[in-house]
Amino acid sequence: MNIGEFFTKQNLKFTFLDPFNHFEKKETALEVRKDLITGTVSRILPFRFRGYERPPIEDYLKKSPPDKCPFCLPQRDQLTPRFTEEINPEGQFKRGEVVLFPNAFPHSHHNTVAVMGNAHFIPLEEINPWLLKDGIIVCLEYMKKMKKMDSALNYASINWNYLPPAGGGLLHPHLQTVVGEEPTRFMETLILGARTFRERTRRDMWSDYVAWEKERGERFAGEGKKTLWFSAFAPRGMAGELIFILPDTFSLLSLTEEDILSVSEDLSLVFRYLSRINLISFNLALYGTLLEEALFPVQGRIVPRYLIRPLDTSDVNYFEKLHGEVICPFIPEDMASGLKDFFHAS
């Protein structure tokens, strides 16, 4: 079994009479890509891509001013929940300008919010790695505490919905943690895939994946001190998907402060790249275990999000919601090429 067998591509053609060229016959091409590791099916439609148009941030700021934000001071102290004394006697976990507290609207047994900084809004290209580092460290401090209290908690993630197109309900930058005894569905898919691959080949799936993508080169986007970056073969978003892997780290709790700063610096660079191409919103997840799990290195995904002008149409449609397949007009290899230039220039 070769890792490349998990990534398949089907070329399709569509013919119609073009009303913009005197109804002459026109043929367009598309690809149906399948990632058999994640189960993702993406339909790549390059003829639909017209570039991204940056939405006016001012509109968001008008609708959500600082004095209405529960994460801004002084209202944060009155409007955000506190931990019970057994978890944290102070009610919050703090580091620098980062404050972590329970989610008032939880979607997991252990679900928290980490507010990053006192500024109500930070533009994507201005998110600094030191603030992000403190945010990640606070999340890990909470996870260490919960793991100490309950040794059965083995799976965790740090997540971010940045701005409304990505489902962000508040402009104030904030991370969210999810900690549980069982992995989320996506994490479980990756872990089971790696286990099956090991049983059939006696090889490590992630090592083979990294070697395969680096050898091909077309989706290998760059390398930081700790991370390897790739553009997903079959992205889960209309604007593509980025994958970053820490190949030598097998537990979130084994990350050092130096490791976290390195990852944060890479993320900051990627955010600047996304802003450069007018993508100003994203979903991010950093996945890992709370025990040393050789089948699952610490890794993350970023799915850029955008609204389609002029109607601010959602980038999620019936194909994704009702058929489980993603329409992607942006060629994944182009994203890797653009980000690679950013890595080389840094």
Pair of tokens at residue 221: 């986007």
Q: For residue 49, is pLDDT > 70? A: no
Give the pLDDT score at 261.
98
**Closest by CA position to 286, among listed 246, 342, 248, 315:** 246
Task: Give the CA diameter of the chain.
Answer: 74
Residue 194 phi, psi (nearest 5): -65, -35
Residue 56 — very low, low, confident or very high, per pLDDT cuts 50/70/90?
confident
User: Which pTM does this prediction carry?
Assistant: 0.96
How confident is the model over 319-336, as a mean pLDDT?
A: 94
Cα–Cα dist 82/344, whole Å: 44
Q: For residue 204, is pLDDT > 80? A: yes
Lowest mean pLDDT among 115-119, 222-226, 300-304: 222-226
How confident is the model over 143-159, as a mean pLDDT?
A: 97
Rg (CA), the chain: 21
Give the pLDDT score at 346.
72
Q: Which residues 6+ apart lie within 8 Å of 35 measured at CB?
A: 6, 7, 41, 42, 232, 233, 234
Q: For residue 18, is pLDDT > 70? A: yes
pLDDT in tens, 98-130: 999 999 999 888 999 999 999 999 999 999 999
Cα–Cα dist 90/183, whole Å: 29
Residue 48 — very low, low, confident or very high, per pLDDT cuts 50/70/90?
low
CA dist list (Å): 82 to 9, 68, 229: 50, 20, 37
228: amino acid identity, one letter: L
Q: What domains can be seen in the chain, in order of their start residue?
A: 57-345 (3.30.428.10)
Give the pLDDT score at 272.
96
Q: For residue 50, is pLDDT > 80? A: no
Residue 62: how many other CB atoms lie within 10 Å: 9
Pair of tokens at residue 321: 């919601």
Q: For residue 312, is pLDDT > 90? A: no
Residue 228's DSSP bridge partners are: 223, 245
Q: For residue 333, is pLDDT > 80? A: yes
- What is the percent of the chain with per-residue pLDDT over 70, rounded to a whole number? 99
Q: For residue 281, is pLDDT > 70? A: yes
How confident is the model over 267-281, as a mean pLDDT?
A: 95
Say if CB 45 and CB 327 are below 8 A apart: yes
29-54 core/surface letters (b: 16 or more CB in 10 A; e: else): ebbebbbebbebbbbbbeeeeeebee
- Select, from the ranges 49-53, 105-109, 174-178, the one with the highest average predicted confidence (pLDDT): 174-178
Say if CB 87 and CB 145 are below 8 A apart: yes
How confident is the model over 33-51, as a mean pLDDT?
A: 88
Q: For residue 224, is pLDDT > 80? A: yes
Lowest mean pLDDT among 3-17, 41-55, 208-222, 321-335: 41-55
Residue 43's DSSP bridge partners are: 32, 327
